[in-house]
Structures are given as C-alpha cells and as structure tokens.
Chains A and B, each alone.
Chain A
Amino acid sequence: MGVRGDAKYAQVANQNSGSDTVIDMQDVWKTYPNGTHALKGVSVQIDRSEFVYVVGPSGAGKSTFMKLMYREEVPTKGQISVNGFNLGKLKQRNIPLLRRNIGVIFQDYRLLPKLTAYENVAFAMEVIEAPRKQMKKRVMEVLDLVGLKSKANREPAHLSGGEQQRVAIARAIVNNPSVIVADEPTGNLDPETSWGIMQLLDEINFRGTTIVMATHNKEIVNTMRKRVLAIEDGNVVRDQLRGEYGYEF
C-alpha cells in the first residue's frame, strides 16, 4: 500500500533503513525576503512513531518549522531530511513524491470545496494512481475510521467544522504516510470536537505514524502528554518528553 514500494520513490528517497529518525533538521535557518529571521539554527530529530507538540507564541517560527517539513518553504541554511528525502537537494518535480508520504492537516481543513467527502479522500489515492477497486475499499475504510462513513457523499459545505477536519484527517492517512504534519488542527474547533480529533490522531499515532502537531491548546498538551518542542524567537528553547504546554495563553 501507498507509495513506499514505488520504484521512483525509492530512487529519490535515500532511505537509511538502519535509522529510526524520520525527521532530521541540522542547524536550520530561515530568513524571509523581507528580512524576518523566522528560524535561527534549529536542530531537531524526530523518530518513527513519535508524537510531538510544537508550541510557542505566535510569530515565533512554528509555522515556518511546519512548512519546512513538507517543503512549502526551503531553508536559507542548514540540512533537512524527511523520510529519507534530502529536502535541500529535492528537485521541484520530485516534491509531489515527498508530499505523498506526508499527510498534512490544517486549521482551515483545506478540502476541495466542490468534491464530496469521499472524493476528497479518494483524490489523494488518485494522485498515486491506485487501482480503483482498492481505492473504493480503502477510502471507505478510513472514512469509517474517522466516523464519517454515513456522510461520504456530502460536500464540505454540508459538514460541520469537526467533520471537515475528520475528512482532512482521512485524506491525510489514506495512503499510510509515515508522517503527519498538523498545523493547529483544533484551532477552529470547540473543546469537545477538539478532543474527538485528538483521540483520532492519538489512535493514528498508536498505529505507528509519526505526528508533528503545532498547537496553542494548553489543555490538550497538558492532558495528553507527549514530547513538547517549544519554539521562541526562532530557536528551540525547550525539548521535553511528556512535557507541559508552559505558557499561560
């Protein structure tokens, strides 16, 4: 399943089978053209099956940190490797190969508005040219997992925020990615819905998928204890297993 067996993938991704490190950042700097220093020499390693919260004040570099992982941004300096892809050397045309093995989840869901829940999830499988039969089975399977089997034919506009985020999660996991990058996935949701989403992510993580999640939700971080990376002013100021949120807002 998925693209990891793909010959092209294997060619581009230089996987170190011996190592358990999925994300490896070495002295990563990011300066935007307007002169903002978003990251100032960040070095982080995240292993397979880890669940990591990325916390910190707004504008501290969290978003840049997340974007670097799925190659929406390129570092100004330093080395990043994700799933064995050396992102500094990754060619433009090979970016899709990287992204097919990373599930991304956003605060604003980012579903295709004119497609149904089913079609949104299926899109990710169409992209990797999965056989249709297999696609149907797998899409229904993940929709069932996120509890939306009965709403498969609804368009995003006819789903609640929590349901839309569940569709986004289904889309993110449908190809069995090794990493999920979630940028404030509960940011637009009420506390109860947020907990539902967190349970889902926890379950996905339990099955072996690495999850990196940026969040502002103190309650979640302090209750569902995981590794915490705190970023302030472009630097990782705290890296703590089973850590606390550590901010008052």
Chain B
Amino acid sequence: MNFNTLLRHFREGTKNVFRNGWMSIASIMSIIVSLSLLGVALLLVLNLDRAADEADKQVEISVYLNLNIDQAERDKVSQEIQDMPEVQNVTFISKKDGLETMRQTLGDAMVKGYEETGTNPLPDTFKVQVIEATTVPFVADKISALNGVNPDGPIYDVDYGKGTAERLFQWTQTIRVVGIVLVIALGVMAMFLIANTIKVTIIARRREIAIMKLVGATNRFIRWPFFIEGVLIGLTGSGITLAILLYGYSRLEVAASGWTSALFTLIPLTDVWMWFSILLVGLGFLIGAWGSTISIRKFLKV
C-alpha cells in the first residue's frame, strides 16, 4: 500500500462518518450511553473503595503498657512490634502526650485535677498501624503474645475495637466486590449494546462491500476505511463521554466541598482525570477498532 492509498483510506474513513450521518450518530450515542454508565460506575467504585480504605486506616492497635516499666523495656517492646512484617509504623505516646490529647478532646476541666496533684493515670501507649488493615486482629494477638517472651509482662492491654473492626472490614470488602462486579457487568453490557449497533450498521453495508469486491478491491482495501471510520466514531463517542463526566465530576466536587463529613470525601479530580481520560479514550478506540474489524469480517467472503 502506498502513501497515497493510505491517505485515501483516512479521507474515505472520515467522509464515511458523515456519509452515514444517522448511523454514525446512533453509534456515537450508543458508545456515549455505554461508556457513561461504565464511567460513572467506575468513579463511584473508586470513591467507595477509597472511603473503605480510609475507614480501614482508622483501625489501629493501641498497646497499653504497664505503668511500672522502664525505658529499656519499652524500647525493646517497641522494636519487637516494629520488626513484625505486617506493621507499618509504631508511634509512641507517652503518659504526658496522652494527657495532652485528653485535654484537647475533653477540655481543661477533666485534666486539671491530675495536673495539680501530679498524678497521671494514663499508661504509656503505642499506636500501631499495620500495612494491610485486615491483619489487625492477627497482629493484635501477636503483640499480646509478646508478654510471653518478656518475663516482666510489660503489656497491660491490647485494643483495636474488637468486633467493630471485623464488621467494618466485612463491609468494606463487600463494597469492593460489589463495585468490581458492577463495573464488569456494565462493561459486558456496553459491549453488547455496541456490538448490536455495529451489526445494524453493517447489514446496511453488506451490499456496498459486495460491490467493492466486484470492482476488484482487496479485503484490506475495503477494511481500512471501515477501520478508520470505526475508530473515529469510538474516539468521538468516548471524547464526548469524557467531557460530560469530567464536567459533572468537577461540579460534584464543588458541591461536595461544602460537606462537613470527614468520613467521606471525594477523590480530587486532579488525581484521577489523567488516567481516567486515558482509560476512557482508550476504550473508545478499542470499541471502534474492534467493532469495525469483527463486523465486516464475514461480509468480506464474497
């Protein structure tokens, strides 16, 4: 194929989009509908997934130490916890820090009495964050077991909101699974919707393909403009979808900035727009290319 012919294919493919006016519009519409559903589901699932992650992260293990342990023992326990492969980081909160936190959350009045008498009933505490939230109960057990290897039994108690945490993990897990199923289901639906549109378009083209073959066109010669037409339609459809979704999301972001809830915040558009755009336009390209390729294959055997 020479360069002129390639140019010709691009020209013809572009012209075909306009020549088949209503059919092109129908195809573009069906791509917009499918990709919009898929895109909305994807954004929803991403946000839910992040909310679930955030919720999971809230779960940390509090390790309360016995009041009478010394610095060396404390460092040893800290190191042992730190060495566990599941653990991300360990924060030490001293008795004093604990009291300060208490003052901030409960008010001066509550801590005043302790400060005056110089007694502090709060134990030294480690806050342990794990890498994978679901390992929290397991890690908590492992930390409790440290009392077994340290004869003094430095740990007074290990707490992670037993019961509540497990329920939370179940919920967040469910949300993730439902999200993935939703995206897959919508993806399949989009495929059928688009395949059907293509089928209708192509039946109308059957005669044209037969004529082209009678004039001596090779399969490749016939296929190219169809391919370019399909890709153009796919790109147009996904481009419009992208514009709609990004605009909608930015509006939602503005509206959501007024929400006070700390538990659920939207993922900022600046974080997602790039790969979301690549994904959507990529899908549009694939749909167009795949659609035009499979749909004319059987009509080429004339």
Contacts and interface: CB of A to CB of B under 8 A. Distances in A.
A97 B216 contact: yes
Contacts of B218: 93, 96, 127
B211 A127 contact: no
B208 interface: yes
B1 interface: yes
Interface stretch (B2-10, B88-96, B151-159, B257-265): B2-10
Interface in B181-214: 208, 211-214
A104 interface: yes
A129 B5 contact: yes
B216 A96 contact: yes
A100 B19 CA distance: 26
Given A112-B208, A114-B19, A126 B5 contact: yes
Nearest to A98: B216
B20 A114 contact: yes
Contacts of A123: 212, 215, 217
A96 B2 contact: no
Interface string A116-134: 0000000110111101100
Given A112-B208, A113-B208, A128 B216 contact: yes
Contacts of A229: none
A99 interface: yes
Q: In the complex, which of the residues A96, A113, A114, A131 has the most CB atoms of chain B within 10 Å of its own CB atom?
A: A96
Interface in B1-39: 1-2, 4-5, 8, 16, 19-20
Nearest to B211: A110
B215 A127 contact: yes
A124 B211 CA distance: 11
A96 B217 contact: yes
B214 A132 contact: no
B221 interface: yes
A70 interface: yes
Nearest to A131: B4
- Please classify how large the interface on chain B is, using the bins under 10, 10 to 19, 20 to 34, 35 or more: 10 to 19
Contacts of A72: 214
A99 B214 contact: yes
A142 interface: no
Contacts of B214: 70, 72, 99, 104, 110
A74 interface: no
A99 B215 contact: yes
Contacts of A52: none
A131 B5 CA distance: 9
Interface string B220-250: 0100000000000000000000000000000
B204 to A, nearest CB: 10
Nearest to B12: A126
A203 to B, nearest CB: 22
Contacts of A104: 214-215
A132 B4 contact: yes
Nearest to A175: B216
B23 to A, nearest CB: 11
B215 A171 contact: yes
A126 B8 contact: yes
A163 B212 CA distance: 20
A127 B217 contact: yes
Interface of A: 70, 72, 93, 95-101, 104, 110-114, 123-124, 126-129, 131-132, 171
Given A93-B219, A96-B217, A114-B19, 12 more contacts: A96-B213, A98-B216, A100-B215, A100-B216, A111-B211, A114-B20, A114-B208, A124-B215, A127-B215, A127-B216, A129-B5, A131-B4
30 contacts: A70-B214, A72-B214, A93-B218, A93-B219, A96-B217, A96-B218, A97-B216, A99-B214, A99-B216, A101-B216, A104-B214, A110-B211, A110-B214, A111-B211, A112-B208, A112-B211, A112-B212, A114-B19, A114-B208, A123-B212, A123-B217, A126-B5, A127-B212, A127-B216, A127-B217, A128-B216, A129-B1, A129-B4, A131-B4, A132-B4
Interface of B: 1-2, 4-5, 8, 16, 19-20, 208, 211-219, 221
Top 7 closest A-B pairs, CB basis?
Answer: A100-B216, A99-B216, A114-B19, A96-B216, A127-B217, A96-B218, A124-B215
